[in-house]
Structure 1
Amino acid sequence: MTQRVTRRQFLNYALMGTGSFMVAGITLPMARFAIDPLFAAGADGDFIQTSIRMDEITDEPVKVDFTFEQKDGWYESEVSDFAWVYRDGDNIIAFSPVCKHLGCTVTWGGDTSNPDMFFCPCHNGYYTKDGNNVPGTPPRGPLDQFEVADSDGYLALGALGANKLVG
């Protein structure tokens, strides 16, 4: 027993099938956009291991270089950066070298008249050893602070955040 499909049924099936493909073509990318961040590997908690050993860190801030892979869209590159690192008792402190005034690079002891301070040469800005900006100088806030960890005896730097020493 064969059942023939009428012309009206064929057009109905064809339009329903085409409509279903069009709806799926619109809906699936939107669903992927909404769900994809749940499956993406996050880099927020990643630490970057440096070449300096934890037992080499003293109470004098030193420049510690590090590199990491950065992905901008489809372009991947290796970025070099550094941090100012020192020991304060049992704690390791790591500061960003970026001045909070205009983004210049600060140095430790860069001004001979204030050798125990971070100095921004762009506009004569000063920071104390704990990263706090000195009142009356251009910086608008304290230096940002890296999270630190011990990675098999080597210093590892994490996310950059607000300075926890000056509140």
Structure 2
Amino acid sequence: MAGGAVLPMIRFAVDPLLEKRAGGSFVKVVEESKVKVGEPTEFKFKIHQVDAWYVSDPEQAAWIMKDDKGKIFALSPVCKHLGCTIGWNTTTANQYVCPCHGAHYTVDGKNLSVAPAPLDEYQVKVENGFVYLGDIIPNTRV
């Protein structure tokens, strides 16, 4: 009898953890016309997420630009050293720099000093004149 009362409670507690996550979803971030060639621009956007029972819409950021062939790519602003937020051209020209411990990255996100790995990138797709960002993946450009 006690088992009959406990099983529904366990199912209630575990159910949100067993739900399949909608992976690979993309979020509209910016008009394609606002993305510059050769000059990264930081764009902020919100994602809708469900963490077990907690629902939130946290703000995210990405450094987005077009390369010399016109292909759009977006880098995560999270430093691979200790997770601080990097900036573009803050202390060194044409480099991303982390203010916490001085990590430096190229425009493609290649790690130059301190950080053990390149910046991650977002999956990108362009549809109907808008840039959409998906999951963060390891950098494929360097």
Judge same fold: TM > 0.5, yes or no.
Answer: yes
1:161 aligned partner: 137
Q: Runs of 4 or more off by more than 3 Å in structure 1?
A: none
1:98 maps to 2:78: yes
Which blocks of at least 5 consecutive residues in structure 1 are unaligned? 1-17
Alpha-carbon RMSD across the aligned residues, in angstroms, is 2.1
Q: What SS does the aligned partner of 2:36 have? A: coil
Matches within 5 A, 1:116-131: 116-131=94-109
Deviations 1:41-87 (A, max 9, x none): x422110111x211221121000111011112111111101000000
Tell me if structure 2 keeps the 8 A contact 1:49–1:151. no
- Quote the offset at 1:151 in angstroms: 3.1
Higher helix share: 1
SS in 2 for 1:55: helix
Alignment length (residue pairs): 131
Counterpart selection for 1:81 from 27, 52, 60: 60
Q: 1:53 aligns with which of 26, 31, 34?
A: 31
Say whether residues 1:151 and 2:130 are aligned partners: no
Question: Structure with the greater relative contact order (CA < 8 A, sep ≥ 6): 1 or 2?
Answer: 2
Secondary structure of 1:98's match? coil
* Structure 2 letter corresponding to 1:93: F
Distance in 2 between residues matched to 1:90 and 1:138, nearest whole Å = 30
- Identity of paired residues, percent? 35
- Give TM-score, length-normalised by structure 2: 0.83
Q: TM-score, normalised by structure 1?
A: 0.71
1:71 is aligned to 50
